[in-house]
């Protein structure tokens, strides 16, 4: 039991929070490319992505594993994004720092979603059972390339 929930219920809660983070992150990222920032969606993205990482640390298991490393990197990126947005109000260098940090946090959420999809979805698992096969690597490279392109465009175009 975690926080009074069964492992299955806690896992479902974690997945729902993660999906909220991914969807709200995408909804918050695309307007940056158009030089807009949806304030409430940005708050939802940042809060749900912080919760995703925090709840990820609450799963049973001793030691440091890849999921905890990704969660720690995400929390650092989120702290930087929150500081740039709310502490520095996107002034000067804080603008591109925010965009890069927020995009990194969103990418990490999507990276984990791809990992989970290849672990849990039967036809994907069959294509890459050890996650070292070409279909998994191609999927991760496509996601990475997409976020590099989106982040680059957002840094170039977002001028609040």
pTM for this model (two decimals): 0.95
Three-class DSSP category at 5? strand
Residue ranges in 34-82 assigned as alpha helix (H)? 39-56, 66-82
Residues in the chain: 160
Contact (CB, 8 A) for 55 and 9 = no
Q: Whole-angstrom Cα distance, residue 150 to residue 147? A: 5
pLDDT digits (tens, 9 = 90+) for 70-85: 999 999 999 999 999 9
pLDDT digits (tens, 9 = 90+) for 33-58: 999 999 999 999 999 999 999 999 99
Tokens of 139: 């999927």
């Amino acid at each position: 039991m975690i926080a009074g929930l069964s492992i299955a219920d806690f896992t479902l809660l974690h997945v729902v929070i993660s999906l909220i983070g991914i969807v709200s992150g995408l909804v918050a990222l695309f307007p940056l490319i158009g030089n807009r920032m949806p304030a409430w969606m940005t708050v939802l993205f940042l809060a749900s992505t912080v919760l995703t990482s925090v709840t990820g640390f609450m799963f049973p298991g001793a030691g440091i594993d890849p999921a905890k490393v990704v969660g720690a990197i995400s929390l650092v990126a989120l702290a930087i994004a929150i500081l740039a947005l709310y502490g520095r109000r996107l002034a000067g260098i804080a603008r591109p720092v925010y965009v890069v940090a927020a995009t990194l946090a969103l990418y990490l959420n999507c990276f984990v979603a791809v990992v989970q999809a290849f672990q849990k979805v039967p036809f994907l698992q069959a294509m890459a059972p050890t996650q070292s096969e070409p279909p998994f690597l191609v999927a991760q490279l496509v996601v990475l390339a997409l976020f590099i392109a989106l982040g680059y465009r957002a840094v170039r175009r977002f001028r609040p």
